[in-house]
Amino acid sequence: MQGYSLDQIAGLVSNPYHPPPPGSDNPHAGVDLADRQTGSSIALAGRPVQAVLPGWTAAIVADRFPFGNALIVETPLSTLPAEWVDGLALPPPFQGTPPPTTLTCPLAGLSTWDVSYRSLYLLYAHLQEKPPFDLDDPVACGQDIGSVGSSGNALNPHLHLEVRVGPLGARFGSLAHYDNRATAEEMDAYCTWTVRGAFQVVDPFDLFNR
């Protein structure tokens, strides 16, 4: 978030990374960062959110549950320094049958991606407004992509930052679940992102600590 250095980010954590078991989206696949009022635990909205890595937009979500207003940015591993990527100790590419899940996943999902080429995907969620991007727009490292909000499943203003590694070139429509307004396509995209195994979670602080 704008105005904080990397060594200050740990002090903004309001809900830590607690990776779900295979097939589940619970307890917490990312990390929540809250901008608190000085001398108080009250979380504030409005601070600009900046992109952690450069890349291209892979999803733009407009006020859908649970992520609210959200943006996913893809960064191909091939565009990053090899020694930096090696230091992340990423899980090997997922292959095989998706794990069982209790989520409602009404469609078959995408299973034809070539997992020999992979990307990092960063999800920025609960933003105040729909991100002003179109699919495949370029995003620069440090570029403002929105501001801290409380859209979607957020009781207080915070940024939910989620990092996953998955097949190169994935693009999502709107992601939504846990809401009777969610379409089958939105739930399918949510299941593909969270529980089908092709997009494996990474601790966001692995990126900050490199």
Q: Is residue 83 in a domain?
A: yes
Tell me whether the omega of the peptide bond preceding residue 132 falls within 30 degrees of 0, making it cis. Answer: no
164 in a structural domain: yes
Is 124 inside any structural domain?
yes
Instruction: Tell me the C-alpha distance between 98 and 196, whole Å.
Output: 5
Radius of gyration of the chain measured on its C-alpha atoms = 16
Whole-number pLDDT of residue 98:
87
Give, as one character, the DSSP assignment of residue 112: -
SS3 24: coil
User: What range does the domain containing 136 cover?
Assistant: 6-17+26-90+106-208
pLDDT by 10s per residue, the chain, length 210? 888 888 899 999 999 999 999 999 999 999 999 988 877 778 899 999 999 999 999 999 999 999 999 999 999 999 999 999 999 989 999 888 889 999 999 876 655 677 889 999 999 999 999 999 999 999 999 999 999 999 999 999 999 999 999 999 999 989 999 999 999 999 999 999 999 999 999 999 999 887
Q: Provide the number of structural domains found in the chain.
A: 1
CA torsion 74-139-71-1 (nearest 10°) is 110
- Domain CATH number, residue 175: 2.70.70.10
pLDDT computed for residue 116 by the predictor:
85
139 is a domain residue:
yes
Residue 101 lies inside a defined structural domain of this protein = no
Q: Record the tokens describing residue 207, joined without a space.
A: 């990126």
Residue 72 lies in a domain: yes
Q: Which amino acid is at 59?
A: A
Strand partners, 155: none
Q: Is residue 203 part of a domain?
A: yes
Distance CA 49, CA 70 (A): 11
| C-beta atoms surrounding 72 within 10 Å | 27
CA distance 84 to 116: 19
Q: Is residue 202 part of a domain?
A: yes
